[in-house]
Amino acid sequence: MQNTDTAFEIPASQRPAVTVDIVVFTLQERELHSLLIKRSYPPFQERWALPGGFVKLDEPLDQAARRELEEETGLHDVYLEQLYTFGEPSRDPRTRVISVAYFALVRADQQTPHTSNESSEVRWFPVRELPQPLAFDHDQILRFAVDRLRSKLEYTTLAFQLLPQVFTLPELKQTYEQILGEQLDRGNFYRKIKEAALLEPVGQVRESGGRPAALYRFRAERREGDFVFRWREARIERDR
Amino acid sequence: MQNTDTAFEIPASQRPAVTVDIVVFTLQERELHSLLIKRSYPPFQERWALPGGFVKLDEPLDQAARRELEEETGLHDVYLEQLYTFGEPSRDPRTRVISVAYFALVRADQQTPHTSNESSEVRWFPVRELPQPLAFDHDQILRFAVDRLRSKLEYTTLAFQLLPQVFTLPELKQTYEQILGEQLDRGNFYRKIKEAALLEPVGQVRESGGRPAALYRFRAERREGDFVFRWREARIERDR
DNA sequence: TAAATAGTGTCTCTAAGACATTATGTG
DNA sequence: CACATAATGTCTTAGAGACACTATTTA
């Protein structure tokens, strides 16, 4: 319940500010990368931070995330999902700021991010070698996002959002391995993928030094987020 | 990134309000119940709603949830977990309100909720027979919470939070069945529970019309949230 | 001893994991 | 042919599910 009208007499100056922050993932040179922005202004001037910004008064949260992402980096049409809301009173030294964090997935082959006037630099960083510390509590948010991505990879088709339209099975396997940070058995992986009947052969082949790999694309009707493909047993998510 | 200082020139009156809403679950007469409050004031006067209220300026979100829950219903020391943040601009007719939703679990044998001056009535409703529609978008939030509870039940020990300290295997099984809304096989369920070594016998027995059931308690060191007990295969969560 | 509920045992089948084998390209 | 990488096949084993059987109480 929210709330008696008396609660609305709280002066607006007493209201916390609300932002969205977006953790954007992509694959680059077969490694998981995340997009960061170098802050041009204090606080945390010259520190790397997640793209994000203030939610407008009559704007849905996910729309705010998309808008901020496009304004600050030029990226658009990404896969977007709400992650968690961070609200420690001290997370922003200026005033109380509550941040609704999102994570996004993009195919790196498709778009190149650009800088804006709020950021002197925009760059993809390998998740394994992030500049640290980031501004605000963005280290924590990023860790949270990586955990979530890893976890959802095991029972959804999220990985598809990181690959180009057409790809090979070895590439798919490598995507999983990169994100999970562990080696997978080729035979078992292929078997599982084929049993799920997610793929459609694209009658072509791409060379790679040895025997060429067959090309596939994901079946259109299965690209939606609600289809669940459980690719293996283990499933442990650490919340918080 | 949040943000250039210019963003802080946004007048405070342009800031959305931030609330927390809490979906509280309990078991009563072996059925899953949720706690609702009858609103005393407009909007949605006389409608049932989730407990909740405004976040104070220097108060962590989960603390706000605990405070509001105690103020409005008297419940305290509950298991609490953040659920999702709802921010559709139209969800509150008065002004923009962004609500961070939580779900809470309580043992019904322990505490009885009471009314406050903001609510004319506080009541447990069986989740299967909720009064509808609820105030605001609380129907949606509640459905979301039920889905999440169901989903997490299958790979965590959340069910423990709903049971008294000491309980029987049939009671535990019934808890799972109630929440999942499906019948489970006794033999397989017991086997799985025992293999997980979560339980400690309490050398006693409780009659129930037939053969008495043995009493157990959960092992102390495993009550923390981070221990994962995967009690069965299926694991499908619909996000959103 | 019948009814009711609690608790254990067993069989089958699926699927995950480990690993061997075959296939198809290049120099 | 040697080498590299792609793709398939096979064996074992753990565990989920179905279901039968045994145990212990009350009426």
- pLDDT tens, residue by residue, A32-48: 999 999 998 889 999 99
Residue A37: list chain B partners with CB under 8 A.
Answer: 1
Q: From the candidates B121, B154, B177, B237, give the one annotated as an active-site residue.
A: B121
B5-152: CATH number: 3.90.79.10
Q: Which CATH fold topology does B155-222 show?
A: Arc Repressor Mutant, subunit A (1.10.10)
Q: How far apart are CA A18 and CA A99, in angstroms?
A: 6
Active site residue B71: no
CB contact under 8 A, A85 and B72: no
pLDDT of residue B29: 86
- Written as one string, the DSSP assignment of B46-108 is T-EE--EEEPPTT--HHHHHHHHHHHHH---S-EEEEEEEE--TTSSSSS-EEEEEEEEE--T
Q: Which fold has domain A157-222?
A: Arc Repressor Mutant, subunit A (1.10.10)
Q: How many residues does chain B have?
A: 240
pLDDT higher at B208 or A211: A211
pLDDT-derived band at B233 (thresholds 50, 70, 90) equals: very low
* Residue-averaged pLDDT of chain B: 85
B39 contact residues in A (CB cutoff 8 A) = 1
Chain A residues with CB under 8 Å of B88 CB are 60
- Put simply, the answer to whether B97 touches A2 (Cβ < 8 Å) is yes
Burial per residue of B26-36, b for 16 or more beta-carbon CB atoms within 10 angstroms, e otherwise = bbeeeebbbbb
Higher-confidence residue of B191 and A9: namely B191
Distance from the A22 Cα atom to the nearest Cα atom in chain B, whole angstroms: 9
- Cβ distance of B89 and A41 shorter than 8 Å: no
Among the ranges given (A15-24, A34-43, A110-119, A128-137), the one the predictor scored with the smallest mean pLDDT: A110-119
Give the pLDDT of residue A219: 81
Whether B237 has a pLDDT exceeding 70, the answer reads no
The H-or-E segment that residue A172 falls in is helix A169-180
Q: How far is the CA of B103 from the C1' of C9 (A)?
A: 40
> Straight-line distance from CA B211 to C1' C4, in Å?
8
Is residue B71's pLDDT more than 70? yes
Given A1, A87, A136, which is nearest B39 (Cβ)?
A: A1
Q: Report the percent of chain A where pLDDT is more than 70.
A: 85
- Residues B11, A15: C-beta atoms closer than 8 Å: no
Taking every pair of Cα atoms in chain A, the longest distance, rounded to a whole number of angstroms, is 73
Contact A114, A122 (CB under 8 A): yes
Q: Is the pLDDT of residue A123 over 50?
A: yes
Nearest to B96 among A58, A81, A228 (CB): A58
Q: Does A30 touch chain B (CB under 8 A)?
A: no
Å separating the CA of residue B189 from the C1' of nucleotide D18: 13
A70 close to B (CB below 8 A)? no
Lowest mean pLDDT among A10-19, B51-60, B222-231: B222-231
Three-class DSSP category at B43: coil
- Integer CA distances (angstroms), B210 to B166, B206, B207, B213, in order: 20, 10, 7, 9
Nearest partner of A39 among A104, A93, A83, A100, judged by Cα: A93
Q: pTM of the prediction?
A: 0.89
A positions 103-162 inside 8 Å of B (CB): 118-119, 135-136, 155
Residue A92's pLDDT is: 95
Q: Is residue A135's pLDDT more than 50?
A: yes
In this prediction, residues B36-62 reach a mean pLDDT of 94
Percent of chain B past pLDDT 70, that is, above it, reads 85
Q: Which pLDDT score is estimated for A25?
A: 96
Q: For A70-113, what is each residue's pLDDT tens digit?
A: 999 999 999 999 999 999 999 999 999 999 999 999 987 778 88
Q: Would you give the DSSP letter of residue A235?
A: -
- Contact between B1 and A225 using a beta-carbon 8 Å cutoff: no
Average pLDDT over residues B116-139: 90
Structural domain spans, chain A: 5-152, 157-222
Confidence grade of residue A228 (pLDDT, cut at 50, 70, 90): very low
Q: How confident is the model at residue A117 (pLDDT cuts 50, 70, 90)?
A: low
| Least-confidence region, from B17-31, B131-145, B152-166 | B152-166
DSSP B121: E
Please give the share of chain B, as a percent, with pLDDT higher than 90. 65
| pLDDT value at B46 more than 50 | yes
Contacts of A53 in chain B (CB under 8 A): 1-3, 7
Asked whether residue B67 carries a pLDDT value surpassing 80, the answer given is yes
Name the minimum distance, in Å, from the CA of A203 to any CA of chain B: 33
| Spatial CA neighbour of B54 closest among B99, B103, B2 | B99
Q: Which residue has the higher pLDDT, A232 or B66?
A: B66
Q: What tokens appear for B149 in the block?
A: 């509870």
In which band, very low, low, confident or very high, does the pLDDT at B10 lie, cut at 50, 70 and 90? low
Residue B37 touches partner A, C-beta closer than 8 Å: yes
* Of B10, B37, B4, residue with least CA distance to B142: B37
The answer to whether B5 and A41 are in contact (CB under 8 A) is yes
Instruction: Say yes or no to pLDDT of B22 above 50.
Output: yes
CB-CB under 8 Å, A228 with B236:
yes
Q: For residues A155 and A235, is the Cβ–Cβ distance under 8 A?
A: yes
The predicted structure's pLDDT at residue B3: 45
Indicate the range of A11-15, A122-126, B99-103 predicted with least confidence: A11-15
